[in-house]
Amino acid sequence: MATRYAASLSFLLSQLGAHVAHRFGTELAETGMSPRGFGVLSNVIDLGPRTQQHLADELGIHRNNMVAVIDELERDGLVQRIRNTADRRSFLIQATPDGVRATSRAMNIVTALDAEIAGSIDGDSRETLDRILLELVKSAQLSPGVHPHLTSQRSPQS
Amino acid sequence: MATRYAASLSFLLSQLGAHVAHRFGTELAETGMSPRGFGVLSNVIDLGPRTQQHLADELGIHRNNMVAVIDELERDGLVQRIRNTADRRSFLIQATPDGVRATSRAMNIVTALDAEIAGSIDGDSRETLDRILLELVKSAQLSPGVHPHLTSQRSPQS
DNA sequence: TATTGTTATACTCTATAACTATA
DNA sequence: TATAGTTATAGAGTATAACAATA
């Protein structure tokens, strides 16, 4: 038997969120990307080439930490650093064809994970769930696509 | 504009879960407890006095890490270590009256946070959400009240 | 003087292993 | 020999500060 908090909305969201994040990280490993690497690359692809600073602002990652993320993506041939001729202090981060392919595979992983997680509920409930979660994200004033773990909120452990 | 993963069930759950966990840790600080301290204390109260090992198994925390959690709770006067006369290797962890009061306050924090998070949705949706989340926890085979962050899964960062 | 990218340092959290006392 | 609790060490992850190049 568990304790009283176990069925609270807050705990359920936290518990499920941590579980899903862990599952995603595990599945994503196959692409060679870290979750934050995927987040950065995905944004580079959708927004077009951007400076590290711009991406850092966009995702709530500190520019100091962005360096290692880009280093890793570049080492794996998923992005390139291009000198910004307009402002030679900065680099434009550009996705490579391999990067685009890896992101495509990662999106398939997301879709498969969504299906796995929601597997036990019927279509109506699934639609309702999606709608409510989007509403909750909105009312909590969370930015779409920005994961709190990446941002600098110094979050307590559990 | 955000990216494609931003509206996926997996990301929404992960994003909301991290947000709620952070909010909870912040609110809980007022009681002097850490989230994992609250988890342990709450279980001690519901299960009755238990050994550190038993609590570690129950919550998926490694017994090595349990030491510091109990140290903190004991320092703050929320639990006591009682020598187990039946097996003098172990301690029975017992909640103090202060511990019971702190847990009660923490449960009020959970309730208030639930209300804050769900504030924007109507009663029907709230019931549906609770029902679906419980179902998802069950089908993911997560133990009630056991937070993945406490367990030893070596979870990827985001 | 401010900003971009970078590096170095410190701090937190946790995983692993080893120690002690009891069984 | 095994187990409960403890301690020490090392490894991730990240926050802070400082630096070089450029604006």
CA distance A20 to A5: 20
CA dihedral for A51, A54, A56, A58, sign (positive or negative): negative
Q: pTM for the full model?
A: 0.93
CA distance A68 to A80: 14
From the CA of B18, how many Å to the nearest CA of chain A? 6
CA distance A148 to A143: 9
Note whether A101 contacts B: Cβ–Cβ < 8 A. Answer: no
What is the model's pLDDT at position B2? 59
* 8 Å CB contact of A3 and B43: yes
CA distance B106 to B46: 14
What is the model's pLDDT at position A55? 94
158 residues of chain A, pLDDT tens digit each: 457 899 999 999 999 999 999 999 999 989 999 999 999 999 999 999 999 999 999 998 999 999 999 999 999 999 999 999 999 999 999 999 999 999 999 999 999 999 999 998 998 999 999 999 999 999 999 999 999 887 654 433 33
Using the structure, give the distance in angstroms from the CA atom of B153 to the C1' atom of C12, rounded to a whole number. Answer: 18
* Residues 26-45, chain B, touching A (beta carbon < 8 A): 26, 28-29, 34-36, 38-39, 42-43, 45
The helix (H) or strand (E) run that includes residue A93 is: strand A91-95
Angle at B154 (CA atoms; ends A141, B16), nearest 5 degrees: 15
pLDDT along chain B (158 residues), means of 10: 84 95 92 93 96 93 93 95 96 97 96 95 94 96 89 43
